[in-house]
Amino acid sequence: MWGVIRQKTQSIRPAFSAIRHFSSAAKEITVREALNTALDEEMSADPKVFLMGEEVGEYQGAYKISKGLLDKYGPDRVLDTPITEAGFAGIGVGAAYYGLRPVVEFMTFNFSMQAIDHIINSAAKSNYMSAGQISVPIVFRGPNGAAAGVGAQHSQCYASWYASCPGLKVLTPYSSEDARGLLKAAIRDPDPVVFLENELLYGESFPVSAEVLDSSFCLPIGKAKIEREGKDVTITAYSKMVGFALKAAEILAKEGISAEVINLRSIRPLDRSTINTSVRKTNRLVTVEEGFPQHGVGAEICTSVIEESFGYLDAPVERIAGADVPMPYAANLERMAVPQIEDIVRAAKRACHRSVPLVAAA
The CA distance from 300 to 268, in Å, is: 11
> What separation in angstroms does the CA of 70 have from each of 39, 67, 77, 100, 139?
12, 8, 8, 18, 19
The CA distance from 94 to 97, in Å, is: 5
- Over 297-349, what HEC string results? HHHHHHHHHHHHHHHHCCCCCEEECCCCCCCCCCHHHHHHHCCCHHHHHHHHH
Given 85, 105, 177, 227, which residue is catalytic?
85
Q: What is the DSSP string of 222-239?
A: T--EEEE--SSEEEEE-T
Given 55, 154, 204, 308, which residue is catalytic?
154
Q: Which amino acid is at 327?
A: M
H or E, element range at 69: helix 69-73
Label residues 326-340 b or e (16+ Cβ within 10 Å = b).
ebbeeeeebeebbbe
Known catalytic membership, residue 154: yes
Angle between helices 176-188 and 31-45 (to 10 degrees): 30
63 φ/ψ angles, rounded to the nearest 5 degrees: -115, 15
The CA distance from 55 to 188, in Å, is: 24
H-assigned helices in 168-296 = 176-188, 210-213, 240-254, 272-282
Known catalytic membership, residue 85: yes
Q: Which amino acid is at 19?
A: I
H or E, element range at 350: helix 341-351
Q: Which residues are designated catalytic?
A: 85, 154
